[in-house]
Chains A and B, each alone.
Chain A
Amino acid sequence: MNRLPAILFKISLAAILAFITLPLLVVIAASVSPTPAVTFRPSDWTLGWYAALWDSRWLDPFLLSVKLAATVSVASGVLGALGAYSVAYAKCPGHTAIMSFLLSPMAVPQIVKGVAIVLFLSSAGFFNLLGTPGLVVAHIVLTLPFVVRMAATAMFNFDKRLDRAARILGARPAQRIRYVLLPLIRSGLFSGMTFAFILSFNNIPISVFLVKPGQTTLPITVINHLEYSLDPVLAAVNVASLLFILGAIILFEKIGGFSAQFHGGSK
């Protein structure tokens, strides 16, 4: 008597998972489909669309997106670590209010942040900052709160007795930060920076206001094309950039070891 709900539950789970994976599978299928009209004959497939990616039409926006994401991730990492240090570690006076200020951009929808920044740059006479410089600062505003939050969590959890032990043993402040604090908050900081990288690399709602011809990010280039056609080369672009993101995550994990914090948690 109790079996039926359990079976129904499993069926609904399978259906939801199918819903989640379907569009991804479809894009992968489209990227190896030989005809521009997406067909699903498994017999003939091609990697020709991937070969077509080696073209400045796609390479230039890709390189811009990579440089942008890397710059933003490093800048937000440094700024976020500094902010988190004051707020969560040194507990400066008024640290709760300052923390809310540092996190405040999260409360504003991305598209509104995008409008605000583009209106600011245009009406304050910084037209020449549109394009790459504008993208960098806007993406820093977008990602900084996430880095601050993750780095601050790591610093809240930091055992201050370790710092005291180092001080008693004669370590100077710079040494205590370099050899005690940083190694212990590294995984939190790196997960924030990885998140910043992904957020910047995939961003649309802010970038869409700031790109200009010749300085366009990859996702914006793709949506500009998508409005006119379902060209399979776009599927190849999407799959390739997903593979790139996965590669970047593995690389960040190798450098920063951020998954340690998921294993070293409460379990």
Chain B
Amino acid sequence: MAVIAFSTLQSPARRVLSVKTFLPLLAPSIVLTLFFAVPMGMMIGISFQSLDGGAPTLASYSRFVKDGLVLAGLGRTVVMSGLVAVCVTVLAYPLAYYLARSTSRWRTVVLALAIAPELAGVVLRTYGWLIILDDRGFINSALMWVGVIFEPLPLSKNLFGVVVGLTHVILPFGVLSLLTSLQGISPNLERSAQILGASRLAVIRHIVLPLSVPGIISSLLVGFTMAASAYATPALLGGAGFKVMATMVYEQVLFYLDWPFAAVMANVLLILMVGVAFIGSRLESRLNQKLHL
């Protein structure tokens, strides 16, 4: 009897349940729609606005393509992000490999040192690099005091300073993406290669590196996308001498008040990132398929 009552009740109860499951979604969806989806749509709309309030136009886009200063900024952004991606991956690899394989008690210390700076925030770390790399900073004043140089070396307000600072900021993310991939490689493969007489270098070269290519790609990807959208580090370590898209967008919005042009720049940055991320993830999944076949 009870069983029958239960089963006849079930279908209307289910329907009520499925409406009920949507209710909690209401609040987060409203917030994200109102303050994320609508602003994003509006920004795209504004990029087609003409300054005199006429019909939608591609004027701001054609100005972007013809503006030498802005294009140079875009070029600097791409070069800087590429360099940062490579530096992050090269420095993160040994750390991640150690973290994936080590069983020593130092492992926790290394892990803490590798990840903890993330808590410190970008300003603190960029400030540290400013003290080190500035014209009157640590390196330059030490070298001048010793008498090796008489003019300060140009270590900040240029590509070098920004790449050093951003590599430092993004390194923990590179370590994390490589770590996941390296932990997935069975240590037995390395052990058997060594038993068969391969040197350590040969093991790294022929076994670990090829198997960790997906991790390398995701680290490059993280490095590139985070560097391309970074604001504070290029602003402080690059300054007026090294303007990138992020700092130029900021100027457009707050100093020049040219909203359509700012929106175009933001859209270009977005397309660059989404494009790179898309190509990268396609590459990654293709490689993953190949490796696991």
Contact = CB atoms under 8 A, between A and B. Distances in A.
A205 B246 contact: yes
Interface stretch (A81-89, A157-165, A179-187): A81-89
Interface residues of A, number: 83
Interface string A72-86: 000000111011011
Given A112-B270, A227-B236, A23 B129 contact: yes
B263 A115 contact: yes
Contacts of B2: none
Given A120-B38, A123-B42, A204-B232, A230 B134 contact: yes
A144 interface: yes
A88 B262 CA distance: 38
A209 interface: yes
Contacts of A208: 231, 250
B11 interface: no
Interface string B228-245: 111110011001000000
Contacts of B20: 90
Contacts of A222: 123, 127
B201 interface: yes
Contact of A119 (B21, B35, B42, B236): B42
Interface string A109-126: 111110111111011100
Contacts of B95: 13, 16-17
Contact of B35 (A78, A112, A137, A245): A137
Contacts of B26: 82
Interface stretch (A45-53, A55-63, A100-108, A253-261): A100-108
A209 B254 contact: yes
Given A20-B168, A92-B18, A219-B123, A111 B138 contact: no
Given A37-B136, A242-B119, A111 B249 contact: yes
Instruction: Pick the most buried of A78, A115, A249: most chain B CB atoms within 10 A of its CB.
Output: A115
Closest 7 CB pairs of A and B: A23-B128, A109-B229, A120-B39, A202-B121, A92-B21, A90-B21, A82-B24
9 contacts: A5-B199, A13-B98, A37-B136, A82-B25, A104-B32, A113-B36, A115-B43, A119-B253, A222-B123
Given A17-B110, A24-B124, 16 more contacts: A12-B94, A13-B98, A17-B114, A24-B128, A38-B137, A86-B23, A92-B21, A111-B249, A123-B42, A137-B31, A140-B35, A141-B36, A198-B119, A205-B229, A230-B131, A230-B137
Interface of A: 1-2, 5-6, 9, 12-13, 16-17, 19-27, 30, 37-38, 40, 78-80, 82-83, 85-87, 90-93, 98, 101-102, 104-105, 107-113, 115-120, 122-124, 137-138, 140-141, 144, 148, 198, 201-202, 204-205, 208-209, 219, 222-223, 226-227, 230, 234-235, 238-239, 241-242, 245-246, 249
Interface of B: 17-18, 20-29, 31-32, 35-36, 38-40, 42-43, 46, 91, 94-95, 98, 110, 113-114, 117, 119-132, 134, 136-138, 168, 171, 199-201, 225, 228-232, 235-236, 239, 246, 249-250, 253-254, 259, 262-263, 266, 269-270, 273-274, 277
